[in-house]
Amino acid sequence: MDRFQHYIDGAFEDGEGTFASIDPASGAPWAQMPLASPADVNRAVEAAHRAFGSAEWAGMTAMARGKLLFRLAELVRAAAPRLAALETRDTGKIIRETSAQIAYVADYYQYYAGLADKIEGAHLPIDKPDMEVWLRREPVGVVAAIVPWNSQLFLSAVKLGPALAAGCTVVLKASEDGPAPLLEFARLVHEAGFPAGVVNILTGGPEAGHTLSTHPKVAHIAFTGGPETARHIVRASAENLARTSLELGGKSPFIVFDDADLDSAANAQVSGIFAATGQSCVAGSRLLVQSGIKHDFLARLTAKAEAIAIGAPERMETEVGPLCTMRQRDRIALLIERSVAAGARVVTGGKVPDGPGFYFPPTILDCSDAPDAPALREEFFGPVLSVVSFEDEAEALSMANDTQFGLASGVFTRSLTRAHRMIRGIRAGVVWVNTYRAVSPIAPFGGHGLSGHGREGGLAAALDYTTIKTVWLRTSDDPIPDPFVMR
């Protein structure tokens, strides 16, 4: 089997333990991964802490940091085919998606390369005539970045890019599911020339995550994953009072009004729920369609879903590949079973297919008679769309906000005024109008409620990795009066 290593303090090394990584397309082990122990994590954090205070990193100009990030962007762009093939092999995500996404990841590092020397402080027009007061933005310290297996190079870039631009150092923990692309990415970090300890990359399970989250030298925890794990991280951060930024799950409403371009909306819905085999935090998993067009729109979606090419993820013609793990496939099957028991109707899909691998077909559930079905409440993280209808705009808005999540949403309508009303009313961190799943390094991304807090992308993310230092400078040459002499 292939063998991967951790990257700690500028060196590649084995973990104290190992585990086998499973190929989702075959269900067979294909690579040996290092398993980080608490001692491994501690060494990585200590290395990051030393690097943070070192003359080599702390004394580096912001422009020089930007040049390192730009070099990393070039290396990612050149290595995209190799990284994409690894991600496809280790997670089951289809090659046409990993290839496109990883090529775009390079743009994120390029964006933050340009931003590194534009993180500015401010001069305050203070109310004291003999004082100059200004604000410095300084890096917060060691960042613990914890990412899941899905879109891991992208989800790392939106943490590593701004953290490094701000001058922080990072310990990046890859998921124990499908960590190969991130462990390979460490070679690009090394080649780019970052000083030892500035970026450390390892993989491990809950024990490694707990050690990282509670470490006294970690100043900021940036996590992407599920709400339950986030609760453990927030509790753990009480030990070190580290800041947290949490990008969690979603149950995003995809709203289609009867005046929408139905062909465009159908294509966006298929992309929004079946791309990445539905394993996306912004998956448009709740379709809210106006009652007058429900039958027609559902027929369009069903035809498109049933025409999707399911197959080996490394083939360019494949449109939906396997889920990443067997436990995820089994969980989806159970949630569908519970939803049907609650009154949902399977329109298409819904059954685990025969054969090897962790495949699950594109599935549509009509939940019009099942308002409390899990399909409308819980994040499946798979290719399952739940459908309900609404009568008018007020009901659509009420349904859209009937969730504990608040990450993304989509609105399809030709009415500009209606679009603005929906934008105002939907409680979500992202509202896409007549499009879906558009992202950019320039635009902040994040949610609220069970979808977390904090933002990734844009200038906002870089500022989140800084702290403000207030500087007071007295400009008078006169001695400070004795405070105990009465005048």
Q: Provide the annotated active-site residues.
A: 247
Mind giving me the DSSP string for 20-77? EEEETTTTEEEEEEEE--HHHHHHHHHHHHHHHHSHHHHTS-HHHHHHHHHHHHHHHH
- Dist CA 88 CA 23 (whole Å): 9
Q: How many CA atoms lie within 13 A of 210 on its CB side?
A: 7
d(CA 263, CA 277): 21
CB of 12 within 8 A of CB of 6?
Answer: yes
- DSSP conformation letters of 137-204: EEE--EEEEE--STTHHHHHHHHHHHHHHHT-EEEEEE-SSS-HHHHHHHHHHHHHTPPTTSEEEEE-
Distance CA 196, CA 162 (A): 19
- The 3-state DSSP class for residue 123 equals strand
* Degrees to nearest 5, angle at CA 241 with 237 and 243: 80
Measured CA angle at 249 (ends 246, 252), to 5 deg: 130
Residues in Cβ contact with 440 at an 8 Å cutoff, skipping those fewer than 6 apart: 457
